[in-house]
Amino acid sequence: MTVSVGIDKIGFYTPNDYLDMVDLATARGEDPNKYLIGIGQSKQAVIPPTQDVVTMAANAADQILTTATKKEIAMVLFGTESGVDNSKATAVYLAHLLGLPSSTRAIELKQACYGATAGLQLAADFLRVHPTAKVLVIGADIARYGLRTPGEVTQGGGAIAMLVTANPQVLALEPTSSYHTEDVMDFWRPTYRTEALVDGRYSTTVYLDFFKTVWTDYQRQTQRTIADFNAFVFHLPFTKMGRKGLRQILPEASPAQQAQLKEAFEASQLDNRHVGNLYTGSLYLSLLSLLRHGRMQAGDRLGLFSYGSGAEGEFFSGILQPHYQQGFDSDKLDQLLAQRRRVSVVEYEAIYQAQLSNDGRDVQLPVGEGQAKYYLAGRQHQQRQYRSR
Ligand code: CAA
């Protein structure tokens, strides 16, 4: 008998500052509706130098791990394109910060915004062989395009942590998925750069083409049609992108189902609209947003489209479980988003430029009162100084 495997718990973290997109549009001489409607973003997370992908992942994972669960984690799979070292995996720093047992296998996975999906699928396959184990899958990134670039409005950052287990509480993954890889230069970041290089409009075309390819192939493999789905969840580099993805397949649905799928999409983009792009975590923040704000029911089939520039796409599906709402803390997420501080464009630009430099010198970062539980205190002797309160 096939073991049911999938997402048991989801945690999310994004730092305390945000930039309002009307403020950014005004400063950049753009019509605010271009950002609010044309791009579909209202706010963007601003990442202070005291947070990086390791600390954000730790702050997200802390919400879903108990002392008992930590002992059962067999593997940490950390998806990111914003790693902090060209050799050592972020997963090793994370495992240490969280106090995971040394019997844990800890590795980093990179393929732009696709890394967390690779982690999720590898975890699922591992659990089909080792059903008593638990795997911690992370998707954490800081999306940086540069000040005054077309991509600036699509920046953001944060971390998703997923506990992946057998007999999961939230979403049981179905075994069939369709994936597709091509060597495409739509978005990349050479090791000497802290900001992405992107052929923006081309990247949106590749995204849509890949979605069409894997959706068609998934249907061929499973003999399912759009009528078998209750919602579609998309990688959301900005919310308009997923809206375009959904529009591409809506004509395949009846008018009544079209209305239902559109309603689900609105729920799935709400939280992303207020955080911005977190690259590999974005699909899973959108899943969380759908589960928090949508009218979903146990037994519903969700279709998920993951896309990582460069490029790799995957379409897979899962069945919502009876107690899915117990797998995340919706009130805590509301609180996290509500308590954030709105920064001015001038403050945002200063924070953006204050990221830890690449020159290796010693730095002590200003650590304030409202610091998250896990934070970066600076760098000494070429080593990042991670701390927890
Ligand atoms: N009111 C309403 N809408 C308006 C408007 C107004 N006043 N002014 C413009 N718009 C609309 C435009 O019509 C356009 O809508 P459509 O796409 O539906 O035609 C939309 O606003 C955007 O306008 P532009 O295309 O002119 O915007 P731009 O060229 O300045 O930049 C972008 C858009 C290319 C997406 C740019 O933000 C970018 O490069 N972003 C980063 C790359 C990215 O996110 N790519 C996504 C696919 S790759 C991926 O998914 C991986 C990843 O995470 C990076």
Establish whether residue 386 lines the binding site of ligand 1, counting it when its CB lies within 6 angstroms of any ligand atom: no
Task: Give the active site residue among 108, 174, 235, 312.
Answer: 235
- Best residue among 142, 145, 204 to mutate for probing ligand 1, ranked by most atoms within 8 Å of CB: 204
Hey, whose CA ends up nearest to atom 14 of ligand 1? 38
Label each residue of the chain as H, E or C. CCCCEEEEEEEEECCCEEEEHHHHHHHCCCCHHHHHHHHCCCEEEECCCCCCHHHHHHHHHCCCCCHHHHHHEEEEEEECCCCCCCCCCHHHHHHHHHCCCCCCEEEEECECECHHHHHHHHHHHHHHHCCCCEEEEEEEEEECCCCCCHHHHHCEEEEEEEEEEECCCCEEEEEEEEEEECCCCCEECCCCCCCCEECHHHHHHHHHHHHHHHHHHHHHHHCCCHHHCCEEEECCCCHHHHHHHHHHHHHHCCHHHHHHHHHHHHHHHHHHHCCECCHHHHHHHHHHHHHHHCCCCCCCEEEEEEEECCCEEEEEEEEECCCHHHHCCHHHHHHHHHCCEEECHHHHHHHHHCCCCCCCCCEECCCCCCCCCEEEEEEECCEEEEEEC
Residues 189 and 72 in one domain: no
Establish whether residue 311 lines the binding site of ligand 1, counting it when its CB lies within 6 angstroms of any ligand atom: no
Q: What is the pLDDT of residue 369?
A: 73
Most distant pair of Cα atoms in the chain: their distance: 63
* Positive or negative: CA dihedral 33, 185, 247, 334: negative
What does the alpha-carbon distance between residue 276 and residue 384 come to, in Å, rounded to a whole number? 26
What does the alpha-carbon distance between residue 229 and residue 224 come to, in Å, rounded to a whole number? 9
Q: What is the pLDDT of residue 1?
A: 64
From first to last of its 389 residues, the chain has per-residue pLDDT tens of 689 999 999 999 999 999 999 999 999 999 999 999 999 999 999 999 999 999 999 999 999 999 999 999 999 999 999 999 999 999 999 999 999 999 999 999 999 999 999 999 999 999 999 999 999 999 999 999 999 999 999 999 999 999 999 999 999 999 999 999 999 999 999 999 999 999 999 999 999 999 999 999 999 999 999 999 999 999 999 999 999 999 999 999 999 999 999 999 999 999 999 999 999 999 999 999 999 999 999 999 999 999 999 999 999 999 999 999 999 999 999 999 999 999 999 999 999 999 988 899 999 998 877 789 999 999 999 999 999 99
* 274 catalytic residue (yes or no): no
Residues 162 and 283 in one domain: no
CA angle 266, 305, 154 (to 5 degrees): 65
Residues 318 and 372 in one domain: no
Residues 247 and 361 in one domain: no
Compute the distance from residue 39 Cα to the ligand 1 centre, in Å.
5
Residues 271 and 346 in one domain: no
- Best residue among 31, 34, 210 to mutate for probing ligand 1, ranked by most atoms within 8 Å of CB: 34
- Best residue among 154, 184, 244, 285 to mutate for probing ligand 1, ranked by most atoms within 8 Å of CB: 154
Q: Which of 244, 247, 242 is nearest to 270 (CA)?
A: 242
Residues 201 and 347 in one domain: no
Hey, whose CA ends up nearest to atom 5 of ligand 1? 34
What does the alpha-carbon distance between residue 159 and residue 10 come to, in Å, rounded to a whole number? 10
- Please state the separation of Cα 6 from the chain's center in Å: 17
Q: What is the pLDDT of residue 2?
A: 80
Residues 110 and 148 in one domain: yes
Domain boundary among 280, 308, 325: 325
From the alpha carbon of 33, which atom of ligand 1 is closest? 1
Report yes or no: 60 and 138 within 8 Å, Cβ to Cβ: yes
Residues 349 and 231 in one domain: no
Structure tokens at 230: 């209750």
* 235 catalytic residue (yes or no): yes
Domain boundary among 272, 304, 325: 325
For 337, the domain range is 5-170+328-388
Q: CATH code at 198?
A: 3.40.47.10
Q: Which of 57, 168, 179 is nearest to 118 (CA)?
A: 179
Number of domains into which the chain is organized: 2
Residues 379 and 262 in one domain: no
Residues 42 and 143 in one domain: yes
Domain boundary among 325, 348, 369: 325
Residues 235 and 274 in one domain: yes
Residues 237 and 380 in one domain: no
